Structure 1
């Protein structure tokens, strides 16, 4: 039997206010005056001195604000890489992503594509990256995606929505500062937190489950229940805990895999541009057949926080559009094998997926 030898984030700092130590952490990594640090920052922070004034720029360092209305595309990564190559005479000293899953995935993808030839779409899949990425740092400003700890970066390409899954994807350094999540809007907080919750349910109920994944998944699951169904946490405690749930949820799928909700959510994201967190919620709401206990608890969380999900998003789609979503979902074979088992193709037919999508 062959065991997976996965890399992890080699350095992580946790604590309220730890963002203030960013400069101290990255300064030793500077390669010279001509090799800048590039900061990709969620554009929600544009004009917000509370965060941006704490980024100290030297020499040719640059902040690039990233719009997050849409999930990252392979073409967007290629453009960002080209911009860097054209603007700077030397390869950057490092890429720093400050934001949610979208921004963190962009930072990971750009750091990989600066050292690997071709286009980002060439690397969508498992273990296709040949050369180590440049130094890259992840600083989440919302909790739940697990992007800060995962070995994937989710990209929508010309043909499919699929991550660059590789040993070179994980960050070299992560700073977990729960204070950075204080202004997240309520619905966004819920959708992204549920990404973590769904990670746990899919990992803990999957055929790939092992004690390594289980230990992280169970911890994240317990914290999610405490944060989303408990009543006695202060706002600060809830922020601290959800950030740790995100980390553990991400770790739980590192050595296992996600399942039905993620596979189908990728279809929604590819065709309709629906963001990952809310996409998972829309799908998961209809998956009692696969995750009865998990969905029951999810509905309790939804009710407690007065979350109303969009309905009828697939009702008016043409057959060809449904087929596109179904094909994107079916292409994620490891997810289905984890969720259903080796014989998943006998159970998960195009017709079955069509029926599920039409409920949404």
Structure 2
């Protein structure tokens, strides 16, 4: 039997205010004065002096502000790579992502594409990346996606929404500063945190479950329950614990897999541009058949925090639209196999998926 030998993030710093150590962390990694560090920053922070003034810029380092309104696209990754190659005499010393899952995925993908030829769409799949990327650092400013620890960078390409899953994808360094999450709007705090919660439900009930993924998944689930069911305030303790839940949730799925909610939310995202966290919530809200206990608990969390889960996204879609979503969803074979086993196609037919999407 062959066991999966996955890489993990080799260096991580955790603590309130540890973002201030970024200069100390990056300086030894600079290749030359002409090889810049490129900071991929969520444009919501543009003009936010509290954060931006603390980014350590030297020489020809550069901040690129990126909108998180759209999910990351292969065409955008390729353009950022091409622009950087054209602008600088030397390949960047490193790419630093500062933001939510979208920024972290962009940072990972750009770092890989600076050392791998062609389009990022060529690498959507499992273990297609051949060369190690440039040094890359992940700094989450919201908790839940697990992108800071995962071996994938999820991209929407011309034909599919699928990650660049590879041993070269994980960050070389992660900076976990819970203080950076203090201004996240409540709805976004909920949707992104539920990405983590749903990771855990899918991992812990899946056929790929093992002691490694179970130990991380159970801890993450306990932390999510504490934050979303037992606490009334988004205090510092909750910020710390949700950041740890995200890390543990990402570790859990690294050695197992996600399931039905993620497989279907990818279809919504590809066709409608629905953002990942909210897409998972829209789908999971309808999955009592597959995750009865998890969905019941999720609904309690929704009610406690008075969160709006959008309805009726699919009511005006055409047959062709449904076919696109179904094709994207069915292409995610490992997710379905984890959720339902090797014979998952006996349960998940095109007609079944259509009827499920029609509820959303």
Same-fold call, TM cutoff 0.5: yes
1:304 and 2:339 are equivalent in the alignment: no
Q: Which residue of 2 aligns with 1:93?
A: 93
1:143 and 2:143 are equivalent in the alignment: yes
Q: Which residue of 1 aligns with 2:211?
A: 211
Mapping for residues 115-126 of structure 1, pairs under 5 Å = 115-126=115-126
Cα displacement (A) at 1:233: 6.2
Q: 1: distance between equivalents of 2:191 and 2:94?
A: 30
Q: Which residue of 1 aligns with 2:239?
A: 239
1:272 and 2:277 are equivalent in the alignment: no
Q: Which residue of 1 aligns with 2:334?
A: 334
The gaps in structure 2 that reach 5 residues or longer are: none
**What CA deviation, in whole Å up to 9, does each residue of 1:20-60 have, x standing for no partner?**
00000010000011100000000000000000000121111
Q: 2: distance between equivalents of 1:309 and 1:56?
A: 39
**What CA deviation, in whole Å up to 9, does each residue of 1:284-331 have, x standing for no partner?**
000000000000000000000001111110011000000000000000
Q: 2: distance between equivalents of 1:310 and 1:149?
A: 29
Q: Which residue of 1 aligns with 2:295?
A: 295
Q: 1: distance between equivalents of 2:264 and 2:332?
A: 9
1:188 and 2:188 are equivalent in the alignment: yes
Q: 1: distance between equivalents of 2:90 and 2:75?
A: 23
Q: Which residue of 2 aligns with 1:111?
A: 111
**What CA deviation, in whole Å up to 9, does each residue of 1:36-92 have, x standing for no partner?**
000000000000000000012111100000111100100000000001000001000
Q: Which residue of 2 aligns with 1:56?
A: 56
**What CA deviation, in whole Å up to 9, does each residue of 1:102-139 have, x standing for no partner?**
00000000000000000000000000000001100000
Q: 2: distance between equivalents of 1:165 and 1:35?
A: 27
Matched residues, number: 360
Q: 2: distance between equivalents of 1:231 and 1:90?
A: 50
**What CA deviation, in whole Å up to 9, does each residue of 1:126-183 have, x standing for no partner?**
0000000110000000000000000000100000000000000000000000000000
Q: Which residue of 1 aligns with 2:179?
A: 179
CA pair 62-234 structure 1, distance change in 2 beyond 3 A: closer
Q: Which residue of 2 aligns with 1:163?
A: 163
Q: Which residue of 2 aligns with 1:7?
A: 7
Q: 1: distance between equivalents of 2:116 and 2:40?
A: 20
Q: 1: distance between equivalents of 2:114 and 2:337?
A: 33
Q: 2: distance between equivalents of 1:237 and 1:202?
A: 26
Cα displacement (A) at 1:231: 2.8
Q: Report the 3-state secondary structure (helix = DSSP H, G, I; strand = E; otherwise coil) of the residue aligned with 1:359.
A: coil
Q: Which residue of 2 aligns with 1:132?
A: 132
| TM-score of the two chains, using structure 1 as the length reference | 0.99
Q: Which residue of 1 aligns with 2:27?
A: 27
Q: 2: distance between equivalents of 1:325 and 1:107?
A: 27
Q: 2: distance between equivalents of 1:214 and 1:34?
A: 46
Q: 2: distance between equivalents of 1:194 and 1:174?
A: 21
Would you identify which runs of 4 or more consecutive aligned residues in structure 1 move more than 4 Å?
Answer: none
Cα displacement (A) at 1:260: 0.2
Q: Report the 3-state secondary structure (helix = DSSP H, G, I; strand = E; otherwise coil) of the residue aligned with 1:163.
A: strand
| TM-score of the two chains, using structure 2 as the length reference | 0.99
Q: Which residue of 2 aligns with 1:78?
A: 78
Q: 2: distance between equivalents of 1:354 and 1:56?
A: 50
Q: Which residue of 1 aligns with 2:197?
A: 197
**What CA deviation, in whole Å up to 9, does each residue of 1:177-201 have, x standing for no partner?**
0000000000000000000000000
